[in-house]
Amino acid sequence: MSDWPSVALHVVTGKGGTGKSTVAAALALALATHGKNVLLCEVEGRQGIARMFDVDPLPFEERRLTTGLPGPDGKRGVVHALHVDPESALLEYLALYYKLGRAGRALDRFGVIEFATTIAPGVRDVLLTGKVFEAVQRNSRNKGALQYDAVVLDAPPTGRIVQFLNVSNELAGLAKVGPVKSQADTMMTLFRSPRTAVHLVTVLEEMPVQETADGIAELRAVDLPVGGVVVNLVRPQDLTPDQLADADADAVAADLVKAGVDAEPGLVDGLLHEGREHAERRELENTQRELVAGLDVPSYELPRLPQGVDLGALYELAALLREQGLA
């Protein structure tokens, strides 16, 4: 059972290096069950979705990507993908609201589009989030457009997520009236509603956990809905605390002999050193895990996968997210 049954827009953010894009992709796969359609969006221009799913770079249009996890009834949904870049989003905006089709493309050739989306970051974020907003808000009146049961946004890092989503406030000094301001205000009704959840990805290290705590406080300060915290890249805990504490040279040597391995002193010392380092690392991680538990939001854990992350690994992570209730 999902912890977020009424959420239509899942925003995934996190400090760089925590694997937020991987979590966003796995979440999209987990949500695409029972025949549901899910859109996975990215807005940072890195073509991360294409690399993760080993497909050609995505254009500024929705593309079928893959099928999701099978539900209990065996039915799979479909994951679509969209790469949103500000220049293409502005051209579409000019065509929709100002009927500037060819004229908009002419402006692009003269570099005006790039200038506009660079000089005014608030406008840039309205354009990026506006495309995502449109995908969430679609209904039967959008003839020919695919309707989605959920949208997953691979969003900017935690340090910029409030600025990115709080578009109405960011535009206050640039546009007090007009269609851009009106669009930003309309989007904020979705972003601040129970239909949106901002999930934060972290690892069990001091700086990412602190940035996650700060991000939650900043989101709450501007009434943006906090979702869950995904603790990613969790190390395996094959040894119990007692085993780590009781390990000594004689015990390690005896275990090696029992396994048919020559208990050379150098090998024994090396294993003991690694064991001590592992124990220290576990202690630090447990301290950070306690801090995550104190954030007063649901938390989920994903393991560090020794083989790396390919499509099969994404499905494995998706299953874990669904089992834990994120999807």
Confidence grade of residue 98 (pLDDT, cut at 50, 70, 90): very low
CB atoms within 10 A of CB 54: 8
What would the CATH number be for the domain defined by 9-236+286-324? 3.40.50.300
Is pLDDT above 70 for 182? Answer: yes
Residue that is written with structure tokens 């299953």 in the block: 319
Q: What is the largest CA-CA distance in the chain?
A: 80
How confident is the model at residue 283, as a pLDDT? 84
Output the six-digit token pair for 273: 């050193």
Q: CA-to-CA distance for 304 and 30, rounded, in angstroms?
A: 18
Q: CA-to-CA distance for 148 and 61, rounded, in angstroms?
A: 15
Sort strands 9-14 and 150-154 into parallel, antiparallel or unpaired.
parallel
Q: Who's near 8: CB < 8 A, 6+ residues apart?
A: 136, 148, 149, 150, 151, 195, 196
Mean pLDDT, residues 280-300:
93
Is pLDDT above 50 for 99? Answer: no
Question: 55-64, 173-182, 267-276: which has the highest mean pLDDT?
Answer: 55-64
Strand, helix or coil at 302? Answer: strand
Q: CA-to-CA distance for 59 and 190, rounded, in angstroms?
A: 26
Domain ranges of the chain: 9-236+286-324
